[in-house]
Structure 1
Amino acid sequence: MTDPLAALLLGILEGLTEFLPISSTGHLLIAQRWLGARSDFFNIVIQAGAILAITLVFRERITALATGLGEARNRDYAMKLAVAFLVTALVGLPVRLLGWELPETVTPIAWALIIGGAWMIVAERVAERRSPDGAEVTWTIAVLVGLAQVVAGIFPGTSRSAAAIFIAMLAGLTRRTAAAEFVFLVGIPTMFAASAYTFLELAMDGGLGGETWADVGIAFAAATITGFMVVKWLLGYIEHHRFTGFAIYRILLGAALLLWIPIGE
């Protein structure tokens, strides 16, 4: 397989999996076993494509919040977004510096997919027993979403979006679209900060070379376009459907990985 085609497929895969509750890290790690391992710089670039995609999807919402801070409702929502991000940053940075993270190998990711899938099914059923129209983001929810993002960073395969969306639903934000919107909006500064931090680390260590710029550009464009379409579709889908299909997919994928991949990898 040619490098441009492999880059295209990896970019599409990033766009498909970054915002679906199925773990982009797990899918990219598995895909790179067959498409060839890529540098941390390449992975940052395709994540930047995903950040651009989510920003474009919510551009009107972001603009409304930025220009409407004079209104109490917008100001309150923006402050809760800021709190969720700050919790992630203030807790996540020490965790990263201390190296508290499972290795990105297939076996722990497979178990994270299975356990996360089962947890999604249970969590959604528990959340539905509460008010099905819960759409108010509380300060508690904002803090818990921030912490959920940290947990997802420690356990590759968990899925940042899944961890944050379901903890928000369990905490009372039971309307799926409201939970997803809050999590995705928090994800913009979170992903941007994480990518910028990794970029600076690579720049200081001299690790920014070695990639073909044409391949990087192809992957970035693919991740942006695919991510945009996926988020638009997902927001419409979860308005009338549960997350059960994604949970079952996670469980089946995790089980397949445990059967097909040698133990310890």
Structure 2
Amino acid sequence: MTGRIRIGIGGWVYEPWRGSFYPAGLRQKDELAYVGAHLTATEINATYYSSQKPATFAGWAKAVPDGFQFAVKASRFCTNRKLLADAGESVAKFVGQGIAELGDRLGPILWQFMPTKKFDPEDFGAFLKLLPDSADGVPLRHALEVRHESFDDPRFLYLARQAGAAVVLADHPDYPAIRGEDVGFSYMRLMRAQADEPTGYSATDIARWANQASEQAARGDVFAFFISGAKERNPAAAQAMIVALE
């Protein structure tokens, strides 16, 4: 069965999007609903910095239509540490804060590691065993964004596959573009948007990423987010890719 392709951006509160992506005069409290009407996914950034209330997640879920999904960025207190094996308490706090309130709007959890974090097979393997399969009955999917070249290692790919975790494919000039093995879904973060390109990426590059997403959809759901780079262009890039997939 072919998976569903969801295309989005990082977050939804960004001043330069007002009057460019968001119509002039749109109330800030209506911006998430606007994202939900024009894109098919977004990453939640706020959860990286602090815990949120269950009611907040429930409100976000109600703001978007059926089929839309949020990728939830895991707390920095889980991943930005010397020993990942010691993250159990932080992982439990993050998972238990109320993300289950997103229900069927919950996409993957994004576990992002610092560019300075090197691959330690034993420690990383212990960390992966801390990641739960569900939260309050809602199934969880995990995506790993590693940024140090030491992770370009068959042992890392093996550990990720054994854990059922997707390896994030990063399109970035400084991070390794590591292609993970099939775990039933895939995750891309596209970070080379250019300010002088109205759609961030050229039409050729948009088509290339759309084709890759289509190929990956044969093996499960696909999540692709335009983030970073010339951030003001990312909504246009996401919309262009959605059109390219039609």
Q: TM-score range by the shorter chain?
A: under 0.3
Flag the structure with more relative contact order, 1 or 2, with Cα contacts below 8 A and sequence separation at least 6.
1
Q: Which has the higher helix share?
A: 1
TM-score under structure 1 length normalisation: 0.25
* Structure number with bigger Rg: 1
Q: Which has the higher strand share?
A: 2
TM-score under structure 2 length normalisation: 0.26
